[in-house]
């Protein structure tokens, strides 16, 4: 069987038998197409570990990050696992491949409370000074503030917030149903009264009562996309002359690190972030060295000892 035909079968399997979501399918398509471009004329039975080694080398030569290379290889490995299971090939060539791909450990970049305060203070002042409450610009400003507030208040991923539906949020209580990676569901609640008030104002301005569809909207009343949210954050970052490049995901990191600083158990934070493994959440315990210094300076028992006359 030609690789092209095998990939088509695998795509069908992923879509209709594994029921993978559309975002995952698009990512698979990119990696499978890239693999097919190199081995277009090959029969799948003749692709061996040496071909796979050449493919890994090409990925390195194209300066892909280790994380990206691991993802691309995982997709191709899933393809060959499927072909082996369906007895199209006798042995998955990945069984004979040994590739050690170690990612450099990067600590997540977060904003401290003062940096978040600067952004929100600017936006709220701008909102208060706005003369015309029924204009499109005012509506979009309220949406922008609410988007940033929700990112910080809940720690959701930007994709989760962008895809949030109207019926997945209780406007009165602030209870939100989030569908995360792997369609795993979790519940998180907005408890701050100012954010809840802003939430209700947004719903009224965009006339969302008793409507269906996406919760956050752009000026065309379409879904406020992930890229739209990133550009919005970047725009307001430039307006306040922030000293660092700010992304929506940094509010998620801030949510986790600041809760840890307040003494919240890491397992509660794991649940709120939707992490499958506690080890993913524990990286936040290594982030804030300034807070660590403060703890050791004020809490360490050595301060009770003195030997200098």
Mind telling me the catalytic residues?
157, 181, 249, 252, 275, 284
* Contact (CB, 8 A) for 193 and 172: no
**Token couple for 9:** 């079968």
The dihedrals phi and psi of 105, each to the nearest 5 degrees, come to -75, 110
* Residue (of 132, 115, 154, 140) closest to 217 by Cα position: 140
19: left (phi > 0), else alpha (psi -120 to 50), else beta? Answer: left
Backbone angles phi, psi at 91, to 5 degrees: -135, 135
CB-based contact 71:28 (threshold 8 Å): no
Place of tokens 């940096």: 115
Handedness of CA 240, 245, 249, 251 (dihedral sign): negative
165 in helix, strand or coil? strand
**208-222 burial by CB neighbour count: b if 16+ within 10 A, else e?**
beeeeebbbbeeeee
Distance CA 127, CA 194 (A): 14
The alpha carbon dihedral of 197, 202, 207, 209 has a sign of negative
Q: Is-contact 273 281, C-beta < 8 A?
A: yes
What is the DSSP-derived secondary structure letter of residue 69? H
Residue found by looking up tokens 């970047």 in the block? 234
In 203-305, the DSSP E strands lie at: none
């Amino acid at each position: 069987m030609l690789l092209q035909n095998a990939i088509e079968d695998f795509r069908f399997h992923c879509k209709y038998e594994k029921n993978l979501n559309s975002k995952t399918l698009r990512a698979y398509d990119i990696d499978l197409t890239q693999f097919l471009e190199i081995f277009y004329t090959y029969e799948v039975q003749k692709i061996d570990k040496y071909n796979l080694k050449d493919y890994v080398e090409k990925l390195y030569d194209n300066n892909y990050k280790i994380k990206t290379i691991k993802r691309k290889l995982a997709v191709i490995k899933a393809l060959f696992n499927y072909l082996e299971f369906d007895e199209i090939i006798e042995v998955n060539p990945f069984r004979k491949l040994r590739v050690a791909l170690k990612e450099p450990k990067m600590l997540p970049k977060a904003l401290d409370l003062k940096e978040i305060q600067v952004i929100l203070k600017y936006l709220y002042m701008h909102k208060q000074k706005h003369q015309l409450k029924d204009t499109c610009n005012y509506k979009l400003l309220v949406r922008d503030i609410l988007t940033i507030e929700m990112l910080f208040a809940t720690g959701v991923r930007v994709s989760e917030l962008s895809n949030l539906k109207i019926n997945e949020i209780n406007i009165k209580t602030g209870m939100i149903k989030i569908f995360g990676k792997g369609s795993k569901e979790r519940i998180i609640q907005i408890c701050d009264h100012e954010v809840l008030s802003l939430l209700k104002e947004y719903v009224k301005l965009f006339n969302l009562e008793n409507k269906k569809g996406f919760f956050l909207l752009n000026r065309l009343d379409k879904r406020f996309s992930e890229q739209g949210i990133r550009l919005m954050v970047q725009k307001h970052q430039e307006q306040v002359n922030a000293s660092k490049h700010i992304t929506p995901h940094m509010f998620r990191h801030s949510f986790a690190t600041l809760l840890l600083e307040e003494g919240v158990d890491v397992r509660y934070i794991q649940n709120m972030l939707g992490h499958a493994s506690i080890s993913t959440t524990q990286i936040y315990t290594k982030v804030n060295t300034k807070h660590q210094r403060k703890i050791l300076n004020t809490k360490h028992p050595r301060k009770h000892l003195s030997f200098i006359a």
